[in-house]
Chain A
Amino acid sequence: MQYLGLQKYSSGERSRILFCYLMLLPILALFFLFRVFPIIKTFWMSFFDWKLVGNERPFLGLGNYLMLLVDDQFLLSMKNTFLYAGASVVICLLLSLPIAVVLAKKTKFSGFYQAIYFLPYITPLVPMAVAWKWIYDPRYGILNYILSIFGIKPVGWLIYPSIALWALIIMNIWKNLGYNIVLLMVGLKNISPVYYEAASIDGAYGWSCFRYITLPLLKPILLYVLVTSTINAFNVFTQVYVMTLGSQAAPGRAVRVLLYDIYENGFRYFRLGYASAEAVVLTIIVIALTLIQFRFIKSEE
C-alpha cells in the first residue's frame, strides 16, 4: 500500500480506492489493448520499414514521411479527400441552414419533415451506397433518366474519377443534411426571443435580423457542425469502397481517398510502416481540427 502513497488515507477510504481500481481494471485493460496501445504503436511503426512478415524492420526515421511527399497516389488521395470534405461540408451547411430556420419556427408538420430529413443519417452506409450506385447507373439509372427529361445527355457518374468524386459528394450531402438540420435547430431554439423583440423595436426584420442576430448567436453550434462533419468527411471509406470499386471499375480508376490509400498500402501491399505514416497524417489533421474547435469554444466563453 505504501508504495502507492495510500498511507494518508483512512482504512475505509483505502478500501474504497481499492474498489475503484478493481472495477476499472477490466475497462482500462480494454482501453489499453484496443485504443492506447495501437494509437502509440501506429506512430512507432511509421518510423520503420515495417512488413507483415519477417523480422527485419530497418529504422527509417522520417523516411516514410519524406516518401509521402513525392508519392503521386498519396498526393492525389489527399487532394480528393480535401475536396470531398470541403465541398460536402460547405454545401451541406448552406442547404441545411435555411431548412433549419424554417423548421425551427412554428411550421406545420415540422416533426414530420425533421424525421424525413434525418432518415438517411441513421441508415447504414453499405446498402445506401449500393442504392446510390443503382441511381447513378449510366444506362438504366434513374438520375440519368430524370436528366434526360431536361434534354441532358447520359452522364457516366461513377466511371470518371473527377465526376465520381462529385457523385460521392452528393451522396454525402444527402446522408448528413438531417444531422446538420437537427443540430442547427437546437442552436436556433436556444436563441432567446428577447433578442428578436428588441430587434423588431429597432425596426430590424428578415434578412438583417438573420444577419445581425441569428448568425452571430449561432456561431458556436455552426462551428461544432462544421468541425464534426469535416472530421466525419475525412474518414470517408465505405462509400468509396462500395461505389467505385468492383467489377465495373478497375481499382486504379477509383476515386482515391486517404483511408483507401492507407487500406491499400497496409493490407494489399503490406507496407505497414508506410501506411502507418499516412495514418499519422490523418490523425494529425483530425486533432488539428478538434483543437481549432476547442480554441473557438474557449474564446466564445
Chain B
Amino acid sequence: MKSKIGKNKKRELLHAVLKHLGLLIGAFFMVIPFLWMLSTSFKPEVEVLIWPPKLLPNAPTYLNFVELFRQAPFFRFFVNSMFISIVSTIVILLTSLVGGFIFGKYRFPGQRFLFLLIIVTAIVPFESYVIPLYTTMVKWKWINTYQGMIAPYLVMSFGIFLMRQHISSTISDELMDAARIDGCSEFGILTRIVTPLCKSSGGALGIFAFTQAWIAFMWPLLIANEKELFNMEIGLTMFQFKFSTNYSLLMAGSIISVFPMIVIFILLRRQIIESISLTGLKG
C-alpha cells in the first residue's frame, strides 16, 4: 500500500515537472522577441551584425536611444501618438457614455433601428471603407491634419454597446424617477448619477480605445504624408525603410513604441484580461 502511494506521488511529480517544462518552453518562445529586441537596442553597432549572434551585449550602451532622437523626430512621433490616442479616448468615452445612456434608459421612435445601425457598422472592417473616407478627407482638405487623423476614431460601436449593457443593468428606472422628483433634469441624471457609476466599465473601454488609436496604421499611413504628423507606428515604419540595416537603432525605436502598452499592461493586467474575456463571451 505504502509503495503504491509513493508511486502515485512520483507519477504526479513527473506530471507536474513535464507540464511546467512545456509551459516554460512556450513562455520562452513568447518572450524571446522582446528579449532579442531589448538586447539589440543596447548593443553597440559593431556587435549587431556578427555571427554567431550573442544574446547579451558585451559592452551595453544607451547611445542608440540618443542617436535615435538625433536622427529622426521620435519625440514628435511619440507626442503625436499620445495626442491622437488621448483625444480619441476622451471622445469615444463621451459618445459611448451618452449613447449607451440614451439607448439603455429611454424609449423613443426609431430607437431600435438606430441602435441596430450602429451595431451593424461594427461588422464591416474599417479598412474596407477607407477609400470613400479618404476622398472625403481630400474634399475637406483634411489630408495632413490632426483632425483628419483623428476623425474616424471618435465613435466606437462596441463602446456604445458596452455602456448600454452596463447602464441598463446597473441604473434602475426607480432611481431615475426619484432623481426627477428631486428636481434633477435628464441631463443632470446623466452627469450626476450615471457617470459616477460607470467608472469601471469606462476604464475598460478607455484602455480599448487608447490601444486602438495607438496602433492605428493604415489610416495614418494614408493621411499623414509629412514627418511632422507621423505617429509612432508610421514613424517607425518610415525610419525602417531609411535605416534598414541599423537594427540597434530600429530596436531602440521599437522599445519606445512598445513601452507605453507594456506599462499599461503591467499596471492593469487583471482588468485587461478580464475585460477581454467578458467581451469575448458576449460576442
Q: How far is the CB of B198 from chain A (nearest CB, A)?
A: 15
B265 (CB) vs chain A CBs: closest residue: A122
**A residues within 8 A CB of B155?**
27, 30-31, 34-35
**A residues within 8 A CB of B109?**
4-6, 17
Query: How far does the alpha carbon of A130 sit from the alpha carbon of B116 in the complex, in Å?
Result: 40
**A residues within 8 A CB of B127?**
235, 237, 259, 262, 279, 282
Tell me if A183 is interfacial: C-beta within 8 Å of chain B: yes
Interchain pairs with CB closer than 8 A, number? 261
Tell me if A263 is interfacial: C-beta within 8 Å of chain B: yes
Residue in A38, A247, A280 whose Cβ sees the most chain B Cβ within 10 Å: A38
Query: How far does the alpha carbon of A183 sit from the alpha carbon of B151 in the complex, in Å?
Result: 32
Q: Are B138 and A52 in contact (CB under 8 A)?
A: yes
Tell me if A134 is interfacial: C-beta within 8 Å of chain B: yes
Q: Are B129 and A38 in contact (CB under 8 A)?
A: yes
| Number of residues of chain B lying within 8 A (CB) of chain A | 92
Report A129-148 residues with CB < 8 Å from chain B CB: 130-135, 137, 139-142, 145, 148
**B residues within 8 A CB of A247?**
241, 244
Query: How far does the alpha carbon of A125 sit from the alpha carbon of B114 in the complex, in Å?
Result: 34
Q: How far is the CB of B258 from chain A (nearest CB, A)?
A: 5
**B residues within 8 A CB of A117?**
26-27, 30
| Number of residues of chain A lying within 8 A (CB) of chain B | 100
Which of A4, A38, A185 is in CB contact (< 8 Å) with B132? Answer: A38
A282 (CB) vs chain B CBs: closest residue: B128
Report B108-145 residues with CB < 8 Å from chain A CB: 108-109, 111, 114, 117-118, 121, 123-125, 127-136, 138
Query: How far does the alpha carbon of A290 sit from the alpha carbon of B101 in the complex, in Å?
Result: 27
A132 (CB) vs chain B CBs: closest residue: B33
Interface stretch among A18-26, A74-82, A159-167?
A18-26
Which of A116, A131, A185 is in CB contact (< 8 Å) with B27? Answer: A116
Given A20-B108, A174-B33, A246-B240; A283-B128 close (CB under 8 Å): yes
B250 (CB) vs chain A CBs: closest residue: A130
Q: Are B53 and A145 in contact (CB under 8 A)?
A: yes
**B residues within 8 A CB of A263?**
218
Interface stretch among B1-9, B60-68, B271-279?
B271-279
Report A's interface with B, CB cutoff 8 A.
4-6, 16-17, 19-21, 23-24, 26-28, 30-31, 33-39, 41-42, 45, 52, 99, 102-103, 107-109, 113-120, 122-128, 130-135, 137, 139-142, 145, 148, 174, 177-179, 182-183, 185-186, 221, 224-225, 228, 231, 234-235, 237-238, 241-242, 245-248, 259, 262-263, 266-267, 272, 275-276, 279-280, 282-283, 286-287, 290, 293, 297
Task: List 11 A–B pairs whose Cβ atoms lie within 8 Å, in order of A's numbering.
Answer: A20-B108, A37-B132, A123-B262, A127-B258, A130-B240, A131-B33, A131-B36, A140-B53, A228-B280, A267-B134, A280-B128
The 4 closest A-B pairs by CB, nearest first: A127-B254, A41-B132, A35-B121, A38-B129
Name 16 extra pairs, CB < 8 A, besides A23-B101, A27-B98: A30-B155, A31-B155, A34-B133, A36-B117, A37-B132, A107-B19, A125-B217, A125-B233, A128-B33, A130-B250, A131-B34, A174-B30, A183-B276, A221-B281, A237-B217, A279-B131
